[in-house]
Structure 1
Amino acid sequence: MRARNGLTALIGRDLLRDTAAYSVGIAVAGASFAALATAQGLPWWITLAMSMLVYAGTAQFAAIGVAAAGGGPAAVLATGLILNLRHLPYGMAVGHLYWDRWWTRLLGTHNLLDTTTAFALAEADPRRARIAYWTTGAGNFAASAAGNVVGIAAGRQIADPAALGLDAALPAIVLALVLPSLKEKSTLLAALTGAAIALAASPFLPAGIPVLLALAGLVFAWPSGETEPEEAER
């Protein structure tokens, strides 16, 4: 009981709650990916290894989609590289949180995800940012592994995971987490612009590319350089 209370005090109840909520979506996404991959005939050990070593949900789903559509290794690799280009600015934004020792560099780079980056950047205090980065990463990794085991077991019985709505669970969790941030007009405008770009491009471009183009919406969230009245007084 003391260890549990100590962990809660160190990490924080809010962070543990948010990590647990997001990890539910990660587990469902992991199960969906494993079920889909198994249904496509991919051996269980390759499915599990791909999730643990590649550890990039969007790229994993895209790779399965490209392969199922008849794409070769080059197409699969190119799709993964394009989708993961977003990790370059992620690393520049939070790399200082794990760039201490050689082993933290390896683990920290593997832990570089949309979730871990977002949770870390949400913390103003460097110590809290480091805790958030590793806590969300550990939760996501455990949830992904558990989801994969379930998905592999169910893959031969589920012909189409999308028919059960499993593919919609993770986006729903993400939307719930970002809703509070959409109260700011600039953030809301950036999100709506990005969504409009992605929707408009989806019918004409390969999977993954519309999402990258949607990043253009961030121009509306770029700091204007103007100082708020309260900060000016200080």
Structure 2
Amino acid sequence: MGGSPVVSGARPDRAVVRDALGVGVAVGLSGFAFGVTSAGAGLTLLQTCVLSLLVFTGASQFALVGALAAGGNPFTAAAGAFFLGTRNAFYGLRLSQLLALPRWVRPFAAHWVIDETTAVALAQPDQRSTRLGFTATGLTLYLLWNLTTLLGGLGAEAIGDTAAWGLDAAGPAVFLALLAPMLRTATERATAGLAVVLGLAFLPVLPAGVPVLVAALAAPLVLWFQGRRIRRGDATSETSAKRDV
């Protein structure tokens, strides 16, 4: 029979787009909370919208405006946001192999390398579905995130004092809501828990924005402890094996 051959394990385009739209819409609506939070931190509507257009990574954006709202130094706040954004570089290394995009497209695609596009892309069984999932998620999320950022900023300006309405808590609440589903393994949960402890412990004694940098030490500490435990286990197994001989 004629027609293109069916690739084993391929997903229908409709299913890929459906998943991409679900993720894009669900997360994209959170841009409203960022717009409100950014306005409450003292940023202008233009500054808020430019952040979403050019930075486009929710965790870094919330970290930046959160530190500024707490009175942190702009450079310290930017450093914390940059540190959180570095994970996207590791996503890019993996996606560059899977997407195999032309060279001239890669700089534009790199702007959409975030948690959500990576998750949808990695869930696909073949390259065509991977490209479609990445593109549909990125496009949906980018457009909706920036639109809701604008609406949130406009709404905050109309309301006035966001703290009086309790909207100053919207940003941290959304940030935690986005983070929680990503903590699937014991190591990830341990890292998040230690980061919270470190951040809260140093919050009263360090300038605003610095505790988040200290909290970042949770990852290497947990990995060091985990590696040490594995080495001890290997040493114990080796000792038991020698005794049995």
Distance 1:136 1:208 in 2: 30
Structure 1, unaligned runs of 5 or more: 1-8, 183-187, 221-234
Contact in 1 for aligned 2:121/2:131 (Cα 8 Å) = yes
- Aligned mates of 1:43, 1:143 — CA distance in 2: 20
Counterpart selection for 1:193 from 190, 195, 204: 190
Q: Residue type matched to 2:187 in 1?
A: A
User: What TM-score does the superposition give when structure 2 sets the normalisation length?
Assistant: 0.68
Q: Give the unaligned 5+ runs of structure 2.
A: 1-10, 203-210, 227-245
Task: Determine the structure 2 residue equivalent to 1:223.
Answer: none
Partner of 2:36: 35
1:152 aligns with 153
In the aligned structure 1, how far is the partner of 2:217 from the partner of 2:14?
Answer: 33
Given the alignment of the two structures, is residue 210 of structure 1 paired with residue 237 of structure 2, yes or no? no
1:50 aligns with 2:47: no
1:78 equivalent in structure 2: 79
**Which portions of structure 1, spanning 4 or more consecutive aligned residues, are displaced by more than 4 angstroms?**
173-176, 214-220
User: Does the 8 Å contact 1:19/1:135 carry over to 2?
Assistant: yes
Q: How many residues align?
A: 203
Deviation at 1:96, TM superposition (A): 2.9
Check 1:19–1:139 CA distance in 2 against 1; reply closer, same or farther (3 A cut).
same
Q: Amino acid of the residue matched to residue 198 of structure 1?
A: A
Structure showing greater Rg: 2
Aligned to 1:11: 13
Contact map agreement 1:83 1:208 (CA 8 A) in 2: no
Report 1:63-212 matches (<5 A): 63-97=64-98, 100-156=101-157, 157=159, 159-160=162-163, 161-163=167-169, 165=170, 167-169=172-174, 171-172=176-177, 175=180, 182=184, 188-204=185-201, 206-207=211-212, 210=215
Q: What is the aligned-residue RMSD (CA, Å)?
A: 3.1
- Indicate conservation of the 8 Å contact 1:32/1:166, yes or no: yes
Deviations 1:120-174 (A, max 9, x none): 12223222222211111111101201211210121121613244x5643464466
TM-aligned CA deviation for residue 116 of structure 1 = 1.1
Partner of 1:5: none
1:59 aligns to what?
60
Inter-partner Cα distance in structure 1 for 2:125 and 2:221: 26
Q: With structure 1 as the length reference, what TM-score do the two structures score? A: 0.71
CA, structure 1 residues 218+21, in 2 after alignment: closer, same or farther (shift >3 Å)?
farther
Secondary structure of 1:204's counterpart equals helix
Q: Please state how far the C-alpha of 1:52 moved relative to its aligned partner.
A: 0.6
